[in-house]
Each structure stands twice: as C-alpha cells, then as structure tokens.
Amino acid sequence: MISQISRHAPSGLELERRAFRRGRERRSVLVAIASSLVFAAIIWATVINTPGWAGVQQAFFDPAIAVQSLPKIWDGFLINLQVLGFSLVTVSVVALVIAVLRTVRGPVFFPLRVLAAAYTDLFRGLPFIIVLYLIGFGVPTIMNTRIPVVVLGVVAITLTYSSYVAEVLRAGIEAVHPSQRLAARALGLGYVQTLRRVVLPQAVRKVTPPLMNDFISMQKDVGLISILGAIDAIAAARSSASLSYNFTPYVVAGILFILLAIPTIRLTDWYTARLREREQQGSIL
Amino acid sequence: MSGPAPESSAVLRAEGIWKSFGEHEVLRGVSVSLAPHEVVALIGASGSGKSTLLRCLGLLEPIDDGQIWLGDLDISDPRVDGNRVRARLGAVFQSYNLFPHLSVLDNVTLASRVVHRMPRAQAEARARELLARVGLADFASSHPDRLSGGQQQRAAIVRAIATDPEVLLLDEITSALDPELVGEVLELVRALAAEGTTILMATHEMAFARDVADRVVFLDDGVIVEEGASASVFGAPQHPRTQAFLARFSG
C-alpha cells in the first residue's frame, strides 16, 4: 500500500497551527510554574512567620529524634506490612465471593443473597475499632489460647474491609452492560465462565479508583493493630514518643504510611491510563 | 493565519484533509463541500475513511492537515471555540449513542437546555412536537434501552435536529438495523432532505443514496476517486474502483 510509504508533508498552514498550539501549551506551562512558585512562597512565608512555629518544629520535626526512633518504627512497620499483605489476599477472596453471592439470580439462591446482604450491612455499619476489640480481645478469651496478633489483625481487617470491597465490586458487576453477558452466553460460556472471563474484568476496571480508595484506607487501618498490643510502627512510635517527650516519632511513622500509599496511587493511575489507551481509539474531547 | 476565504456559498467545505491514526493514514487529502440544502452521500468500503471524514468535519477528531469552513468561519483554526462550532452541527452515529440514564425527552432537550439556554418548557414543547412527527410521542418519558433499534435511531435523529443544526452529519445510521427498521429511519431522512436540511451522510444503502442524495462521493483508501450527481455516479461510474464497488449493487 502506497499510504504506508508516503509520509504526508504538512502544509505551511498546518505548521503554523501546530506552532500556535505549541505556543499556547508553552504559555500555560509557564503560567502553571509561576503560579505554583508564588503559591509555595506564600505558604512558606506564612508557616515560618506563624507565632509558635519554632515550638511546633521542635515538638514535631526534631531530626535527631527522628533518626533515633526510625529503626524501631521501621521494625514495627514490617509487622504492619505483614498484616497488610495477608489481608490483601483474604479481603480479595472474601469480598469477591460476597459480591458474586449478592448478584446471583434465581430463587434458589435467595438465602445466600440475604446472608451476603446482611453481612455487608453489618460490617459496614460496625465501627472497625469495635470489630478489632471483639476479635482481638474477645476471641482469645473465649478460646482460652494465645493467638498471634498478626492473625487477629488480619481476621478483623478482613471482616470489615471485605464488606466495603464487596459492595464496590458489586457496583462494578452491575455496571457492566447486560449486552456483554448476552454476547458471552451466546458464545456458549456458562454463568461462571461469563462472570470470570467477561463481566469481572470489565467490572474491576470500572471500579479501580474506589477499590484503590479502600486499599489505601486499609493500608492505614493496619496501624490500629497497635491497640491489640502488637509492636507495630505506631506502637513503636508511641513508646519512643513517651521516652523523649517529643511527637517526632509519630510524624516518622506517619511519613512511612504516606510513602507506602503513594506508589499504589501512581501505579493505578498509570495502569488505568494504559488500559484506556489500548482499548479506545480517537480523541476524547 | 486566515486561509483563503471560501469562494463558494458552501455551508460546509473541507479542503485537503489529512488524518492518520498512528502509522495508518486514513484520509489523504480529501476535499468536499456542501451547498445549502444539498444532500451528499459518502460511499465506499468499510475502512475507506467515511466515518473519520465525518468526525473530522464535526470537529470530533483533530485533523493533521487541511482546512474546514462552516459558512465563512475557518473551524480548523485552533483559535476557534470548538464547542460553539459543534453546537451548530448535528451528528447521528451508527450505534445511536443515546444517553441511557436520560429519558428520550431529556435526551432530545439536553443540548437545547444546556448549550442553547432554552427554557425547559419551550425545549420540551419543541421536542414533543418533533417526537410526535417521527411517531415517538408515546415514548417521550421512556428510557432509550426500552426502545427498538429503529425507535432509538429515530430518537437520536430528533436529538440531532432539535437544535436546528446548519448541517446534519449521518454516520452509517442504518447499519445496526434490520431491513424493516432501516425503512422507518430512511423515511425520516428522506423527509428531512425534502424539507431542505443540508445533509452529509456516510451510508451503505446504495438505493437510498441514489434516490435521496443530490451528489455522491466515492471514497477509496482515504482518497476521493469519484464524485458527481448521484444519477451519473450510479448510472455510469467512470473509475474502475467505483465500477468494481458498485458492480455488486444492481438496483
């Protein structure tokens, strides 16, 4: 085909238009940079000149105490990561099962649907801290044994977060247009095959941003296992804060959690943008 | 950088349009123009660039080169406000693209109310009148997914004409419909053409193009290989590609 070889040389008018667009882009980039700098300078000046800033700096941002407390907080943070890793797997599985149970049709499944609905109602309504107390202190008491805090934490997080994630997944499943099920069933795919191959992949894409919200919120809530007596990042921060009468260790732990969240956020932004690019052609106005 | 002023009284005119998607050049220097009240049919094989041309003309796809005028306005100039240009045009798509979350009436009145700032009562009165004309009076409050394909496409046409566009761009609007439904949609287009609406339509309905269009443009691999009065293009095609394309059509 000739068209593959010949590259059209743009006309003078088109070159002019491109130059105009580039100029406009350049100008908006410059405006953005300038306004960011001005904004940053204003914030900086305001913070520095606020009365009591020196006290705040000393109590919250003491570099020496930060360095000193970091190793212990880091060790504790690894426990948080452990709980997070396990919970990620269990929440995914449990939430998926509940979401699917919520969407199965047919009168036979009525009790299952009701149970699944009741579960999501209950655990979305119940404050996480109550779940944590009941599981963390209640279960070992009834069973009269010592259960590792990591296990208790994973169970509590799974119970609560599965209910949120299940509802998000259900919303995604229901947002897939019925014609997609129709097309899959027409190819001879069964109910489960249709769900797994056609409906769920599209559903997950639709709800990736809210799923990420839940994931990030879970990353933070693993810090609550410190109230069960685990020496996690927050508990470690608390002990060094009380030793030094300084709040810097909390800030250090906080920064670790923020650093944990940022890659996840950026990664999903990048991934969803890539999927969009692959599946859609043409400009979006 | 205003290009040469259009010498004709064309409503919509495009000159030397180039468009590529990645490495694939879809349009290679296409020029078309539409006189007031003219109906022009774009024919050609799938992938010949008909849809892309319509999208470029409707400012739904940026062009790589060339110039487009709507009346006296160079709408390919980046300084032109695209939204205001698109508000003057009407477009109907192959798969209707009605908004599923709005009733038929709201679909039809959306642009009138939101873009043209028409009071709701006035917009709805006008919409009901148009819907009644195309036999959809009883479906005004239904949602699009409850309608048949032909009904949805008629509603989509009403949505496009509700704002009295200067040009109606129709992109293979009957391709998703069965022959019976094709008939009801084409009747509507025929009526609009008879009323003097300026229409540019990409179509695979050769008999319809021959009967309704004043002029036919045959697009092949991104280039116009033949164009002329529909009677002459269909009656005695000159170019071998046109002859081959129309050979299977004997109406």
Low-confidence residues of chain B: pLDDT under 70: 1-8, 250-251
Q: Is residue A146 part of a domain?
A: yes
Low-confidence residues of chain A: pLDDT under 50: 1-4
Q: What is the predicted pLDDT for the residue at A151?
A: 93
- Tokens 């100008």 belong to which residue? A27
**A19 near B CB under 8 A:** no
Q: Is residue A22 part of a domain?
A: yes
Q: Is residue B86 part of a domain?
A: yes
Q: Is residue B135 part of a domain?
A: no
CA B101 to chain CA mean position, Å: 24
Q: Is residue B143 part of a domain?
A: no
Identify the closest residue of chain A to B63 by CA–CA distance. A14
Q: Is residue B138 part of a domain?
A: no
Instruction: Report the alpha-carbon distance of residue B110 to residue B131 in Å, rounded.
Output: 14
pLDDT by residue (tens digit) across B197-230?
Answer: 999 999 998 988 998 999 999 999 999 999 999 9
CB-based contact B76 A285, cutoff 8 Å:
no
Q: What is the predicted pLDDT for the residue at A285?
A: 62
Let me know whether A77 and A24 are in one domain: no
Let me know whether A233 and A144 are in one domain: yes
Q: What is the predicted pLDDT for the residue at A282?
A: 60
How many angstroms away from the CA of A203 is the closest CA of chain B? 18
Let me know whether A206 and A141 are in one domain: yes
**Hey, how many other C-beta atoms are within 10 angstroms of the C-beta on B159?**
28
Closest CA relative to residue A99, chosen from A253, A207, A252: A207
A189 φψ region: left (φ > 0), alpha (ψ -120 to 50), beta (else):
beta
Pairing of strands B199-202, B215-220: unpaired
How many angstroms away from the CA of B236 is the closest CA of chain A? 28
Instruction: Report the alpha-carbon distance of residue B31 to residue B63 in Å, rounded.
Output: 13
Q: Is residue A218 part of a domain?
A: yes
Sign, CA torsion B70/B73/B74/B77: negative
Let me know whether A34 and A155 are in one domain: no
Q: Is residue B192 part of a domain?
A: yes
Residue from A1, A2, A3 to probe the interface with B (highest B Cβ count within 10 Å): A3
The residue type at A65: I
B196 φψ region: left (φ > 0), alpha (ψ -120 to 50), beta (else):
left
Identify the closest residue of chain B to A17 by CA–CA distance. B78
The Cα angle at residue B2 between residues A285 and B3, in degrees rounded to 5: 95
**A280 near B CB under 8 A:** no
Let me know whether A105 and A214 are in one domain: yes
For B170, counting Cβ atoms within 10 Å of its Cβ (0-12 exposed, 13-18 middle, 19+ buried), the class is: buried
The tokens of B22 are what? 């990645």
Q: Is residue A60 part of a domain?
A: no
Q: What is the predicted pLDDT for the residue at A2?
A: 44
The residue type at B84: R
The tokens of B113 are what? 């109310």
State the virtual CA torsion across B116, B121, B123, B124 in degrees, nearest 10: 150
Closest CA relative to residue B191, chosen from B159, B166, B217, B158: B158
Closest CA relative to residue A158, chosen from A92, A213, A205: A92
CB-based contact A14 B21, cutoff 8 Å:
no
H or E segment and range at residue A233:
helix A233-244
CB-based contact B28 A16, cutoff 8 Å:
no
Q: Is residue B116 part of a domain?
A: no
Let me know whether A126 and A262 are in one domain: yes
Q: In this structure, are residues A60 and A249 in contact, taking their beta carbons and an 8 Å threshold?
A: no
**A108 near B CB under 8 A:** no
Instruction: Report the alpha-carbon distance of residue B67 to residue B4 in Å, rounded.
Output: 10
Instruction: Report the alpha-carbon distance of residue A182 to residue A170 in Å, rounded.
Output: 18
Let me know whether A125 and A174 are in one domain: yes
Domain count, chain B: 1
Let me know whether A31 and A134 are in one domain: no
- In SS3 terms, B20-42 reads as EECCEEEEEEEEEEECCCCEEEE
Domain count, chain A: 2
Q: Is residue B2 part of a domain?
A: no
Q: What CATH number did the domain enclosing A177 receive?
A: 1.10.3720.10
Q: Is residue A50 part of a domain?
A: no
Those residues with Cβ within 8 angstroms of residue A175's Cβ, 6 or more apart along the chain or in another chain: A203, A206, A207
Please provide the size of chain B in residues: 251
Let me know whether A78 and A30 are in one domain: no
Let me know whether A31 and A123 are in one domain: no
Q: Is residue B85 part of a domain?
A: yes
Please provide the size of chain A in residues: 285
Q: What is the predicted pLDDT for the residue at A3?
A: 43
Let me know whether A90 and A129 are in one domain: yes
A6, A281, A285: residue with CB nearest B60: A285
Q: Is residue A5 part of a domain?
A: no
Q: Is residue A111 part of a domain?
A: yes
The tokens of A165 are what? 């994630």
Identify the closest residue of chain B to A11 by CA–CA distance. B65
Q: What CATH number did the domain enclosing B43 receive?
A: 3.40.50.300
Query: Helix (H) and strand (E) counts for chain B?
Result: 9, 10
Instruction: Report the alpha-carbon distance of residue B41 to residue B230 in Å, rounded.
Output: 8
Q: Using the 8-state DSSP alphabet, how is residue B197 labeled?
A: -
**ipTM for the predicted complex:** 0.76
pLDDT by residue (tens digit) across A141-154?
Answer: 999 888 899 999 99
Pairing of strands B167-171, B199-202: parallel
Instruction: Report the alpha-carbon distance of residue A85 to residue A36 in Å, rounded.
Output: 37
Q: In this structure, are residues B32 and B224 in contact, taking their beta carbons and an 8 Å threshold?
A: yes
Q: Is residue A282 part of a domain?
A: no
- What is the span of the domain harbouring residue A259? 69-274
Q: In this structure, are residues A233 and A77 in contact, taking their beta carbons and an 8 Å threshold?
A: yes
- Beta-sheet strand order (sheet of B65-70): B24-34, B12-21, B65-70, B73-74
Let me know whether A94 and A158 are in one domain: yes
- What is the span of the domain harbouring residue B80? 12-97+166-247
Closest CA relative to residue B204, chosen from B226, B219, B194: B219
